[in-house]
A and B are shown apart, each in its own frame.
Chain A
Amino acid sequence: NAGVTQTPKFQVLKTGQSMTLQCAQDMNHEYMSWYRQDPGMGLRLIHYSVGAGITDQGEVPNGYNVSRSTTEDFPLRLLSAAPSQTSVYFCASSKNRGEGYTFGSGTRLTVV
């Protein structure tokens, strides 16, 4: 049971480049989310999904896009990378709202 798998672990982008952060879970969880973690800011929700084909915005969605074509996968796309998107990104999934989320190990992104 792999849990939540994120790739890549590290990435350096130039300003203006685009890329996709991959997230996959094998626990058949309906709920999936993307968070970013910045020093002194805690974790902030970017986008979330309550099932295949259903996504919605979180607290800081600008500059990011998501889709959920399958229960297992929830990729996060950076449309045009900016230095302000330098952060550690975590994907998380949950079976139901009261159970808490299982987190991936994160992607450390640097935009130069």
Chain B
Amino acid sequence: GDSVTQMEGPVTLSEEAFLTINCTYTATGYPSLFWYVQYPGEGLQLLLKATKADDKGSNKGFEATYRKETTSFHLEKGSVQVSDSAVYFCALTPRSGAGSYQLTFGKGTKLSVIP
């Protein structure tokens, strides 16, 4: 079945550091790919998405590129802020079939940014 693997956390960075959170996936065909963010005590928010190979999703300074050849969707930000401290989830939805109504999540990566 489909699966998502993301780097284990926690990740601790200093403010203004460069962030990369790795995400790779296993799926049939061309799934849609997502990054969600969960701030403490809150639900998940969609951060960015990409629906086809070579698409780049971007939002709030975060970027991720859909790489079909390496089945990856790594999350990057050039300069993190304390307010970026949260848990980040990589997820996919198959393009078709019964499973296309559901998200398959990675286990999440906790990011802490210190001043």
Q: Tell whether A and B belong to one assembly.
A: yes
A-to-B contact residues, CB < 8 Å: 4, 31, 33, 35, 40-45, 48, 50, 56, 58, 90, 92, 97-106
Please encode chain B, from 88 to 111, with 1 for each CB lying within 8 Å of some chain A CB and 0 for all others. Answer: 010001010010111101111000
Counting chain A CB atoms within 10 Å of each CB, the highest count among B89, B100, B102 belongs to B102
B residues 37-68 in Cβ contact with A at 8 Å: 42-46, 49, 51
B-to-A contact residues, CB < 8 Å: 32, 34, 36, 42-46, 49, 51, 89, 93, 95, 98, 100-103, 105-108
Q: List 30 A-B contacts (CB under 8 A).
A: A33-B101, A33-B102, A33-B103, A40-B107, A42-B106, A42-B107, A42-B108, A43-B103, A43-B105, A45-B102, A45-B103, A48-B102, A58-B102, A90-B44, A97-B32, A97-B95, A97-B100, A97-B101, A98-B49, A98-B93, A98-B95, A100-B34, A100-B46, A101-B46, A103-B36, A103-B43, A103-B44, A104-B43, A106-B42, A106-B43
Given A98-B32, A100-B34, A100-B49, check contact A42 B44 (CB 8 Å).
Answer: no
**Nearest-CB residue, chain A, relative to B4:** A42
A40 to B98 Cα, complex, angstroms: 26
A44 to B45 Cα, complex, angstroms: 16
A-B pairs, top 10 by smallest CB distance, nearest first, are A103-B43, A42-B107, A42-B105, A103-B44, A100-B46, A105-B43, A43-B105, A98-B32, A45-B102, A97-B100
Chain A residues with CB under 8 Å of B43's CB are 4, 90, 103-106
Secondary structure dominating the interface of B: mixed
A98 to B103 Cα, complex, angstroms: 10
A100 to B44 Cα, complex, angstroms: 11
**Nearest-CB residue, chain A, relative to B106:** A42
Chain A residues with CB under 8 Å of B51's CB are 98
B101 touches A31 (CB 8 A): yes
B89 touches A42 (CB 8 A): yes
B45 → A minimal CB distance (Å): 7
Chain B residues with CB under 8 Å of A105's CB are 42-43
Chain A residues with CB under 8 Å of B93's CB are 97-98, 100
B46 touches A102 (CB 8 A): yes
